[in-house]
Every structure is written in C-alpha cells, then in structure tokens.
Chain A
Amino acid sequence: MTDLTLTAAATLGGFAHDFSGTTLTEITPLAIVAAAIPQGDEKSAHAAIKAAYGGLPTPTETHVSKDGKTRLVQVAPDQIFVVFGSDTNQANSEVNKALKGTCYTTDQTDVWVTLEISGPNARAAMARICQIDLHRDAFPINTAARSTMEHMGAMVIRTGEDQFQLMSASSSAGTFLHAVETSLKNVS
C-alpha cells in the first residue's frame, strides 16, 4: 500500500485581507463540536459542562473558558457548540471525554467556515447584510446570534470592541465570503 499523508486544508485557503484598516480573515484551524443535551438528563450535562469549561452559555451570551481557549455558544435551546483552536482531528473525542459522555457530541468542524471581521468599518459592513442589532449596547462583547446574511444562515459572535466572528456553512463558504467582502468594500 502507498503511504498517503492527508493534510487538512482551510475551506477558503486561509483568506486574509486588509480593507483600509478593517481586516477580514478566515479563522483556521478551528474545531467545532456540537453537544446536544439529553432530555431529562439536563442536570448532569450542565454540571459536566460547568466542570469542563467553568460555566454555561445563555441563549444570547457565549461563555469563554478561563484559559480563553474554548468558547461555548448556545445555538439551540438544547444544543451548545464547543469552539476551540485545534487541528488534531480528535475534537469530537476530546470534547466527549471532557464532558464525560453526558452529552451527544457531533463533530461540526468541517461543516462551518468562520470569518473574523475586525476594525473600524466592521459594524458598518455588517449593518448592510445582517438584520441583527449590532449596536455596542444592544450586542455586548461575547453576545452571539444565529440569523441570516444575504439569505445564508450565519452566526454572529462579538469577540471584541469592533470585532465579530461570523460562522456560516462551509458548502457556501465562497458565496459567504463574497457577500461579506463586497459589503466591506462598499463601506471602505
């Protein structure tokens, strides 16, 4: 048998560009694992999540672990995304182990593409394509919302003063990048 070495490739080839001081970057590698909370076993699942990551997200606010490496995003009433930088291909078993098997975990890493938009024009670019109110007071740092942008399902997480992480389906990653990039060009 031939020895084959598989190398992970970023969905958008690690896109990174500066548009007059506002940057648009693909965040990679980024592991995403969905943890679904079993009906009737919420207590033990919540306790395990707290023990592993130091807290729970709310429907609108994400939770960042103490070491700052893992972000928990509540994407549905009984589902949490565990998001962390990793390229080991072992994300699912790592999370499953950390949660001691109390949740149903599914690897979602390659299903999503994640962009980071950061800089003074980030909010203006977003305002044209995103119907969520991203005003500083209405959408504080660490807030997350799942909505649509240009008819594509997308999740917005505010990670800094003028910085947002945008997650969308990797199958339409190019179209999503085009939408955000065009909007950013229009305000730059």
Chain B
Amino acid sequence: MIINHPLLGPRDASEFVVKGAASLIDRPDWQAENATDAFHDYMYLRDNPAGEHAELWYHEQGDRSWLVVTRNTLTHEVTKVEMARDVARARGRSK
C-alpha cells in the first residue's frame, strides 16, 4: 500500500505505524466537570465504521510526522492524507 505523504510524496506503508482512530486528537479537558466520563469515552469507545475511517498514522521510518489517513474500510481505498498538526489546528488546537 502506498501512502501519499503531503510533504514527501508517495511512500510505502511499511514506513508507517498506525496509532488508531483520529478521534484521539480530541482529548477532553481534564479540568472539566464531566472529565471522568469524557475520558472514559475517549479511552474506551471507538466507532467501527464500514466505509470512510480516519486514522492517526506515524511516519516512524521517515520524517516522524503524524498524519491523519482517511481510508475506506470496505474498499481499502485511501481517500485523504493530511498532516495531523494541520487537522488539530483546524479543530482549534493552538500548537
């Protein structure tokens, strides 16, 4: 499988490791009133979609960047590859 890295171009999937669902970016506020429940959901609840699925991929044997790879679990087609940093910033993260 080839991953089209946004900075580096096409790279072999063997250079990457997969962390899990991209929802891990949305870490709850630990100081919030409902932090215990929010962290329970963050830690243990995962969607298991048949279709489009966004995941965090780490380019461990490459430039060490974190990516959000969107792929279709039914067809294995990779539809989108973004820098995780850009995705996090678009969702309001400062860094």
| Contact A148 B65, CB 8 Å, known A39-B95, A131-B14 | no
Q: In whole angstroms, what is the CA distance A27 to B68 when docked?
A: 38
Give the Cβ gap from B57 to chain A, nearest Cβ, in Å.
15
Q: Which of B15, B61, B63, B95 contacts A76 (CB 8 A)?
A: B63
Chain A, Cβ-Cβ closest to B12 = A131
User: Given B9, B15, B95, which contacts A60 in the complex, CB threshold below 8 Å?
Assistant: B9
The residues of A that contact B85 with a CB separation of less than 8 Å are: 77
Known A-B contacts A39-B95, A131-B12; A146 and B7 likewise in contact (beta carbons under 8 Å): no
> How many cross-chain pairs have Cβ atoms below 8 Å apart between A and B?
36
Q: Which chain B residues lie closer than 8 Å to A145 at the CB level?
A: 8, 62
Interface residues on B, range: 10 to 19
Most chain B CB within 10 A, of A131, A146, A153, is at A146
Do the beta carbons of B63 and A148 come within 8 Å of each other? no
Q: Are B65 and A77 in contact (CB under 8 A)?
A: yes
Asked if A147 lies at the interface with its beta carbon under 8 angstroms from chain B, I say: yes
| A75 and B15 contacting across the interface, CB-CB below 8 Å | no
Q: How many residues of A contact B (CB 8 A)?
A: 14
Cα(A133)–Cα(B8), bound, Å: 12
A59 at the interface (CB under 8 A from B): yes
Q: Are A147 and B7 in contact, CB atoms less than 8 angstroms apart?
A: no
Chain B residues lying within 8 Å of A146, measured Cβ to Cβ, are 61-63
Report if B46 contacts A (CB, 8 A): no
B11 contacts the other chain (CB 8 A): yes
- Interface pair A147/B62, CB less than 8 Å apart: yes
Residues of the B chain whose Cβ atoms lie less than 8 Å from the Cβ of A39: 95
Cβ of B76 within 8 Å of any chain A Cβ, yes or no, is no
The chain B residue with its CB closest to the CB of A77 is B65
> Interface code A95-122, partner B: CB below 8 Å = 1, 0 otherwise?
0000000000000000000000000000
Are B7 and A59 interface neighbours, CB within 8 A? Answer: yes
- For A75, the closest partner residue in chain B by CB is B63
- List A contacts of B14 (CB < 8 A): 131, 148
A sample of 9 inter-chain contacts (CB < 8 A) reads A75-B64, A77-B7, A77-B63, A145-B8, A145-B62, A146-B62, A147-B61, A147-B62, A148-B15
Closest 6 CB pairs of A and B: A59-B7, A148-B61, A131-B12, A76-B64, A76-B63, A146-B62
